[in-house]
Amino acid sequence: MKAVIIGAGLGGMLAGAKLTKAGHDVEIFERLPFVGGRFTNLLYKGFKLSTGALHMIPHGSRGPLAQMLKEVGADVTIIDSDPMAVIRKENGEIIFFHDFRNELTLTKQVKLGTVLVYSLKFKPKSEISFRDWVFKYFEDEFLFKLADSFCGWALSLTAKDVPAREMLEIIDNMYLYKGSGIPIGGCGAVTDALSKIIRSNGGRIYTQSCVEKIVIENEMTKGVMVQGKTIDTDIVISDIGHFETSRLYECKDRVYLDKISNVKPSKGIKICLCADEPLIGHSGVFFTPYAQRINGINEVTNADPSLAPPGKHLVMSHQAIISDDLNEEINLGLLDLQQLFPGKKYEVLLIQSYSNGWPVNRASSGSDNGNKTSITNLYIVGDGAKGKGGIEVEGVALGVRNAMGEIGVC
């Protein structure tokens, strides 16, 4: 079978590695001069910054992405975070993430246990948001703030923008796969390893090659057009989300178009800091529920010192974008950092914002539309078609697994 993949982001590369490993003929077209999309390194002043991700793999060496990397033979070492995460309380005290229950009254602790067991088994069928779900059972300021901090860090959304159903799937996966990890060499090491596998299996990856059109005949894909040339294929896999993909052909299915045009991307801001002394001191997530904007911070050099020049630390904060005033959002983030690390010396290396065509997630968590399209042999992978309960790249891996199932590749 011949497959053409649109986009060499993580989703496209995972799909390419799975298909070439199964002996299929694969061509990947990427419009940019580099592969990896939002999951690769950006070299800056001797630091390995990134085009998107915070160099974190949400479920570390045990999660769906790690599993898929192993299956295709990608040579990636993931260092599991230790501790998984901590929470900075209002008074500045730091507690382990798992101890958040101790901040609640005894009655609320008991209730939380019961409600969680019940809700994880019987997920809500309604459209209730995670914030409203928390409110329904617990009127607790700390839980609200922690929910926003977690959703902001992991999904670039506030708790009111995440369906409770999806958040409970995420909690299920957290119990199943546990906490996060950092790939040695950063996120670029992951997409570079996949690129090597695809090429060694005979796949071809072309950069600076934008797919301009998907050629459809009788509701079947026949090929793609790249720089005016038609490339014939049996299937097309697109890594650019449902909506952007539908703009590459004349989609006539109104129901499908209505469904996919309502999907909103999630938007965020990343601030990269350089410090001579550690600001956090471990490789886990530093949740900041009492900051005005920053949702969480990591210090990846505690897992992989090679991400910074010798003796330096790379610290990255993330915040969901709340208002339309981007400058104000950035200023509030910078102010938070001053207040979180009073008296500590650091330099702001780079501030990056993500929205529209280069967002944090093409489909905000809980709004994914599966991997199928209205065209029989056209599939979507990537963070516009994540699998259930999959945080970020774990969702990308789960989505690629689902797509491979649809295509009949295991």
- How many C-beta neighbours within 10 Å does residue 115 have? 16
Among 167, 240, 260, 271, binds ligand FAD (CB under 6 A): 240
Q: Among residues 10, 8, 398, which one has the least CA distance to residue 190?
A: 10
User: Within 254-293, which residues bind ligand FAD (CB under 6 A)?
Assistant: 268, 270
Q: How far is the CB of 153 from ligand FAD (least distance, A)?
A: 9
366 is a site residue for ligand FAD (CB under 6 A): no
Q: Which stretch binds ligand FAD (CB under 6 A): 28-36, 113-121, 200-208, 329-337?
A: 28-36
Q: Which stretch binds ligand FAD (CB under 6 A): 5-13, 41-49, 164-172, 333-341?
A: 5-13
DSSP reduced 3-state for 33: coil
Give the CB-nearest residue to ligand FAD: 9
**Closest to 284 measured CA to CA, from 58, 97, 85:** 85
* Phi/psi at 215 (5° precision): -90, 125
Q: Using CB under 6 A, which of the segments 32-40, 283-291, 319-327, 370-378 binds ligand FAD?
A: 32-40
Alpha-carbon span 323 to 3, nearest angstrom: 41
Residue 183 interacts with ligand FAD (CB under 6 A): yes or no = no
When the beta carbons of 15 and 168 are compared against ligand FAD, the nearer one is: 15
Question: Whose Cβ is closer to ligand FAD: residue 135's or residue 206's?
Answer: 206
Complex with ligand FAD: residue 4 or 164, whichever CB lies closer: 4
| Residue 211 binds ligand FAD, judged by CB under 6 A | yes
Which segment (111-119, 160-168, 319-327, 390-398) binds ligand FAD by CB under 6 A? Answer: 390-398
The string of DSSP letters for 238-278 reads: ESSHHHHHHTTTT---HHHHHHHHT---B-EEEEEEEESS-
Instruction: Report phi then psi at 316, rounded to 5.
Output: -130, 130
Judged by CB under 6 A, the residue of 360, 400, 403, 404 near ligand FAD is 360
Alpha carbons 92 and 173: distance in angstroms, whole number: 29
Contact set for ligand FAD, span 36-95 (CB under 6 A): 37-39, 52-54, 56-58
Interatomic CA distance for residues 280 and 231, integer angstroms:
50
d(CA 63, CA 396): 12
Distance CA 30, CA 68 (A): 22
Instruction: Tell me: does residue 32 bind ligand FAD (CB under 6 A).
Output: yes
Nearer to ligand FAD, 289 or 296 (CB): 296
Instruction: Tell me the backbone φ, ψ of residue 180, rounded to 5 degrees.
Output: -85, 175
d(CA 409, CA 404): 5
Say if residues 378 and 238 touch (Cβ distance below 8 Å): yes
Interface with ligand FAD in residues 310-349 (CB under 6 A): 318
Smallest distance, ligand FAD to C-beta of residue 54, A: 3
| 154 touches 255 (CB < 8 A) | no
Whole-number Cα distances in Å, 336 to 50, 165, 169, 186:
22, 31, 31, 26
What does the block give as tokens for 343?
């008296």
| Window contacting ligand FAD (CB under 6 A); options: 29-37, 112-120, 194-202, 330-338 | 29-37
Size of the site for ligand FAD (CB under 6 A): 35
Q: Does the protein bind ligand FAD through residue 6 (CB under 6 A)?
A: yes
Site map (CB under 6 A) of ligand FAD, residues 126-165, x = contact: ----------------------------------------
Residues that bind ligand FAD (CB under 6 A): 6-12, 29-32, 37-39, 52-54, 56-58, 210-211, 239-240, 268, 270, 318, 354, 360-361, 382-383, 392-393, 396
